[in-house]
Structure 1
Amino acid sequence: MTRALIVIDVQESFRARPLWETISDPKIADKVNRLVRLARRAGDQVVWVLHSEPGTGGVFDPALGQVRLLEEVEPPMGDEPLIHKTSHNAFTTTNLQQRLTERGIHELTLCGIRTEQCVETTARLASDLGYQVTFVVDATATNPVPHRDAPEDQSVAALLADPRTLPAEEVIRRTEYALAGRFATIATVDELEAAAGLPA
């Protein structure tokens, strides 16, 4: 086993926010489940990562009960660790690198929420740490990004009405361009299944 699938922040915290109605792929769990089944079939390690902000009183505060996998996601099995992070990337505040090193893993496949934030940040750091990274772009999801001068407490309607807002599809496209050939190989779920010899 030299590969691991890292499932990042596919959690109910996001669905608990009004912004969920703008998510680029409300059925992201379906694609994540396909990747999990593919990894298990290949004998790859699966690592589950959840974002946690203890004591904040928000949807990422574990005390509120939303810091758990989306209910549609296949649950962890056997020796698949579930780790909690408090930084954007999955390495800085966890023992992820130690776990991977102990298992001799040097290839990572990444998916999760949000495309340009926690998943991309993890991809960049993983690349710098020497891992070979595959970024499964269609198994990530994100929201429209407000302009830097937009009010922090604006409504979803105001976000969508603001012509300066960057649409989710554009966020994903830009992330793909930024990572490709520098920090990661870009792939889709269909491509990985095809490479594994599974029918389309």
Structure 2
Amino acid sequence: MRSALLIIDIQESFRQRPNWAAVSNPGIAATVAPLVADARERGDLVVWVLHAEPGTGNVFDPAAGHDFVRYQEGLEPRPGEPQLVKTSANAFTTTGLQQLLTTEGIRHLIVTGIQTELCCETTTRVAGDLGYDVTFVTEATATFPIAHRDERDLPFADILASPRTLSTADVIARTEYALAGRFATVATVKEVLAR
């Protein structure tokens, strides 16, 4: 069965934010690169997704006078590999992803990217609801500590110091508990490469 490797939001925008200092996987591009090479070798579809927030002026705004809405160094699409730009948390709602997958006859997705519990998990849940078989490669995702709802406006250093902040390890564990056996099969990079 032909699969599609989704590379979600592994972009420079995230590296420009203060919370990058606390990211769970600063080498995510290097973690995902072997999956890209493997997918290409197998003839699987490699789908590149970027997140944009037009008109915001922030690091996700492609027209804000900087060049941050681009893939991180070490990851580069080849000619002919689909590139999508989304403006929602999941990779389906504001793109033609489902049409692309249908046209290509793909029913199995391998999910990688930033953020584990946000765009990656949300894409996985939507894919599961749409009937796709999904492999969620947790170690090929990255996330950040999450502030308690009452502390979201604190300075970043205070968020990190707060005992109410959810650690990246806790975020990752919660995501795996929520997805495994419900919306996806959770796998390691090694397991995906050995398939």
Distance 1:104 1:140 in 2: 25
- Alignment-derived partner of residue 12 in structure 2: 12
CA contact (8 A) 2:19 2:156 kept: yes
Give the secondary-structure state (helix, strand or coil) at the position aligned to 2:149: coil
Aligned amino acid, residue 128 of structure 2: S
Q: How does 1:1-200 map to 2 (within 5 A)?
A: 2-63=2-63, 64-73=66-75, 75-152=76-153, 154-195=154-195
Give the secondary-structure state (helix, strand or coil) at the position aligned to 1:62: coil
Deviation readout 1:36-86 (Å, 9 max, x if unpaired)? 01101111000000000001000100013210000122x111321111000
Distance 1:34 1:173 in 2: 24
Aligned amino acid, residue 22 of structure 1: A
Structure 1 gap segments, 5+ residues each: 196-200
Q: Which runs of 4+ in 1 moved over 4 A?
A: none
TM-score, normalised with respect to structure 2: 0.97
Distance 1:38 1:158 in 2: 41
Give the secondary-structure state (helix, strand or coil) at the position aligned to 2:151: coil
Shift in Å, 1:159 = 1.0
Shift in Å, 1:194 = 2.4
Structure 2 gap segments, 5+ residues each: none
Distance 1:101 1:151 in 2: 39
Give the secondary-structure state (helix, strand or coil) at the position aligned to 1:108: strand
Distance 1:104 1:54 in 2: 32
Aligned amino acid, residue 178 of structure 1: A
Shift in Å, 1:157 = 1.0
Give the secondary-structure state (helix, strand or coil) at the position aligned to 2:176: helix
Figure out how many residues of one structure are paired with residues of the other and give that number. 193
Aligned amino acid, residue 15 of structure 1: R
Aligned amino acid, residue 108 of structure 1: L
Flag the 1:181–1:151 CA change in 2: closer, same or farther, 3 A. closer
Distance 1:65 1:54 in 2: 13
Aligned amino acid, residue 147 of structure 1: H
Q: Percent identity?
A: 60
Flag the 1:44–1:151 CA change in 2: closer, same or farther, 3 A. closer
Distance 1:11 1:135 in 2: 19
